[in-house]
Structure 1
Amino acid sequence: MDSQNLERINSMLDAEVEIREKIKEQVTEFDKRTRTLVGILNRIHSTRSEKMSTLLDQARPVLDSCRETTAALADIVPPDQFWKWKDMWSLSLRSAVFSATLMEYLNSGTLLSLPAVAETLGFKPEWKDRVTLAVEDYLHGVITLVNELSRLAVNSVTLGDFEQPIKISLFVKDIFAGFSMLNLKNDTLRRRYDSLKYDIKKIEEVVYDVSLRKLAPSAQEKAE
């Protein structure tokens, strides 16, 4: 190799190292915010339904602050290099997706769509070649939501909320039905989807026990 070519390659390598370090800084901040968010939301398991809105009010500013990270990443990542760098922030992003969908469920009992989550986290359409919410990251976040709701189904009964497990059961079964219609070729995603069956079984056992003891309307009555 001639010296000019070597110099060009070194410049490219140095540029990549600089980008990586800048992304790392933002991912570290992103991770701090999502850990704080998940920590706040973990208190849902010891919070009565009438106080849930207060808990969500505490979590919302932290979720909103994640927009700062997505904007910073969009400034750092060069055009058309999304897939090159996305794995660096995927785990933090999935936590943010989980938190956003959990908060929406607790607030309205509905599932936040992919575009709605992207908007909540501050992603802009013009960033799609640099930073965007990939479908697989959204789906991983939704699966984590189901995992968490299976815990909530058990803990809500402990807190005396006997209708929550029935609501969760209907919601989770609807999500599972949606997943069953997807052509999942990602091995990790497929394995996590298969694990949802255990969450559903756990929730169904809680619903069965609550219904058997006539502590709340049956899931069928609730659906009707």
Structure 2
Amino acid sequence: MDSANLDFINRMLEQDSELREKIKDQVTEFDKKTRTMTGLLNKIHSTPTAQLPLLLDSVQPILESCKETTGAIANLVPANQFWRWKEMWSISLRNAVFSATLIEYLRSGTLLTLPQVSDILGIQPEWQDKFTLAAEDYLHGLISLVNELSRLAVNSVTLGNYEEPLRISAFVKDLFAGFTMLNLKNDALRRRYDSLKYDIKKIEEVVYDISLRKLAPVSGK
């Protein structure tokens, strides 16, 4: 191998290493934001319903600031190299999906679609080949949402909110019905999907106990 070729390869390796470090810096910032949101949202399990809006309002600015980070990452990734770098930020992105969907559920009781989450995170359609919200990352975020809601169903009862588990049950069952219609071939995603049955069972046990004790109005069923 001649020296010119070696020099060329060395430059390519150095450029690749520099780019990786730059992306890593932005992903670290993204991860910091998602961990902060997750930490704050964990307080929902000990926060009375009347105080939830204040808690969600404290998380909202952090969620909105994620737009700056996704934009910075997208500006770094070269065209047509999404799949090459995707794994660097996939965990942070899934956690951001989780936070966004949990906030929306707590505010309105509805599920954010993939395009809606992309919009909240500032992900532009023209970034498709550099930075985008892949379906599998969106679904991983939704599974985390169900995991958290199964916890909330139990803790809502502790806080004296007997209607919330009924709402959670209806929401999760509808979400699970959607999952059953998907052709999941990703092994990790499939395994996590299978675990949803345990979350649903936990929620059903809470709802059954509430119904048995007549702690919630019949209209809430």
Q: TM-score range by the shorter chain?
A: over 0.9
* Structure 2 stretches lacking a partner, 5+ long: none
Amino acid aligned to 2:8: R
Q: Counterparts of 2:2 and 2:184 in 1: how far apart (Å)?
A: 48
Q: Counterparts of 2:70 and 2:28 in 1: how far apart (Å)?
A: 12
Q: Deviation per CA, 1:1-56, whole angstroms, max 9, x where unpaired?
A: 22222111111111110110001101111111111100110000001111111111
Identity score, percent = 70
Within the alignment, does 1:204 sit opposite 2:195 as a pair? no
* Structure 1 stretches lacking a partner, 5+ long: none
Q: Counterparts of 1:29 and 1:8 in 2: how far apart (Å)?
A: 32
Number of residue pairs matched? Answer: 221
Amino acid aligned to 2:50: E
Q: Counterparts of 1:196 and 1:47 in 2: how far apart (Å)?
A: 25
Within the alignment, does 1:160 sit opposite 2:147 as a pair? no
Equivalent residues in 2 for 1:85-164, closer than 5 Å: 85-164=85-164
Q: Counterparts of 2:207 and 2:220 in 1: how far apart (Å)?
A: 12
The residue matched to 1:112 in structure 2 has which SS?
A: coil
**Structure 1 residue 204: deviation in Å?**
0.2
Structure 2 counterpart of 1:213: 213
Structure 1 counterpart of 2:17: 17
Amino acid aligned to 1:194: D
Aligned-CA RMSD value: 0.9
Structure 1 counterpart of 2:49: 49
Q: Counterparts of 1:69 and 1:195 in 2: how far apart (Å)?
A: 31
Q: Counterparts of 2:155 and 2:216 in 1: how far apart (Å)?
A: 15
**Structure 1 residue 217: deviation in Å?**
3.1
Structure 1 counterpart of 2:72: 72
Q: Counterparts of 1:139 and 1:23 in 2: how far apart (Å)?
A: 24
Within the alignment, does 1:188 sit opposite 2:188 as a pair? yes
Q: Counterparts of 1:23 and 1:211 in 2: how far apart (Å)?
A: 51
The residue matched to 1:11 in structure 2 has which SS?
A: helix
**Structure 1 residue 222: deviation in Å?**
3.5
Q: Counterparts of 1:157 and 1:21 in 2: how far apart (Å)?
A: 46
Q: Counterparts of 1:211 and 1:217 in 2: how far apart (Å)?
A: 9
Amino acid aligned to 1:86: K
**Structure 1 residue 99: deviation in Å?**
0.2
Q: Counterparts of 2:11 and 2:126 in 1: how far apart (Å)?
A: 28
Amino acid aligned to 2:33: R
Q: Counterparts of 2:141 and 2:85 in 1: how far apart (Å)?
A: 19
Q: Counterparts of 2:152 and 2:89 in 1: how far apart (Å)?
A: 27
Q: Counterparts of 1:8 and 1:129 in 2: how far apart (Å)?
A: 26
Q: Deviation per CA, 1:134-153, whole angstroms, max 9, x where unpaired?
A: 11000000000000000000
TM-score normalised by length of structure 2: 0.98
Structure 2 counterpart of 1:174: 174
Q: Counterparts of 1:144 and 1:2 in 2: how far apart (Å)?
A: 53
Within the alignment, does 1:63 sit opposite 2:28 as a pair? no
**Structure 1 residue 127: deviation in Å?**
0.8
Of 2-11 and 141-150, the range deviating more from structure 2: 2-11
**Structure 1 residue 174: deviation in Å?**
0.4
